[in-house]
A = this chain, B = another copy of it.
Amino acid sequence: MVPETNVFDLNQLRRSCSSCALGELCLPAGIGHDDLDRLDTTVRDKRMLDRGGVLYRDGDPFAALYVVRSGSLKTFVQDEAGDVQVLGFHLPGEIIGFDALALNRHVSQAEALERSSICELPYARLQQVISEVPALHRQLMRVISREVIEEHRHLVMMGRQQAQEQLAIFLKSLADRYQRLQRDGIALSLPMSRYDIANYLGLVVETVSRLFSRLEEMGVLEVNRKAVRILRPDLLADLCRNNTAATKRHDTG
């Protein structure tokens, strides 16, 4: 059975950017039909990762950027003491690996949260195609910029919000991203553990667990382990803006 699924997956993977289901949700956004074929020649390798599989780890030499094709990954940094900070969760169409551009080696780790397939964009080849396709350069810059903005959101969430607001924002953001992928934005199946969520938000797992329970009591969610159903999207949205603690911490001189 294992060989069979592998064969099936490999067939899936052989499809090019032109025929990929992600389409405009990925790097090809804004790229013309002709240039798309050239982008295809950039995608050399396509990899499958099982749950827990590592795409790159801290210290790995920089070889490529990676596009999540299906499944999901988390990225995180880990200091010498083993202390971890989750940086983000990455869904199909998202590009990761930019951290390695500065020093030509990765300074973070990327790990699959579930069985996932990855498009690999060897950087040398990508650079060459970029020099031929100016639109691709602009698009790539847009993608990096989006990553910068996303990290700003993460910072605001950790620095300014209460724990409950943080979780609400996290869930709403995840729901929105799934919906943009034409998937269910109401009945979520969280690919990451409570530990991952807690770490991402700068909280402990007990707090996150309690918050899920509280949101369920409030009638906002229906929680069943990984399965989370958003019963009241309106309330969830309210909670995201519920700046009850909008005081001193928010001023700046």
Q: How many residues of A contact B (CB 8 A)?
A: 61
Q: How far is the CB of A177 from chain B (nearest CB, A)?
A: 15
Interface digits, A133-151 against B, CB 8 Å rule (1 contact, 0 not)? 0100110011111111101
Q: Of B98, B147, B206, B251, which is within 8 A of A84 by CB?
A: B251
A34 within 8 A of B: no
B84 touches A250 (CB 8 A): yes
Q: Of B99, B148, B243, B252, which is within 8 A of A86 by CB?
A: B252
Q: How far is the CB of A166 from chain B (nearest CB, A)?
A: 11
User: Mind listing 20 A-B residue pairs with CB under 8 Å?
Assistant: A81-B250, A83-B160, A85-B155, A86-B252, A87-B152, A98-B145, A99-B148, A99-B152, A100-B145, A102-B143, A107-B149, A108-B152, A131-B134, A131-B137, A148-B148, A159-B199, A194-B253, A196-B252, A198-B249, A199-B249
Bound CA–CA A205/B252 (angstroms):
9
Nearest residue, chain B, Cβ from A200: B159
A7 within 8 A of B: no
A154 within 8 A of B: yes
B98 touches A148 (CB 8 A): yes
Q: How far is the CB of A199 from chain B (nearest CB, A)?
A: 5
Q: Of B107, B131, B149, which is within 8 A of A99 by CB?
A: B149
Q: Which of A165-186 contact B (CB under 8 A)?
A: none
Bound CA–CA A142/B103 (angstroms):
8
B148 touches A253 (CB 8 A): no
A41 within 8 A of B: no
Interface digits, A3-22 against B, CB 8 Å rule (1 contact, 0 not)? 00000000000000000000
A253 touches B147 (CB 8 A): no
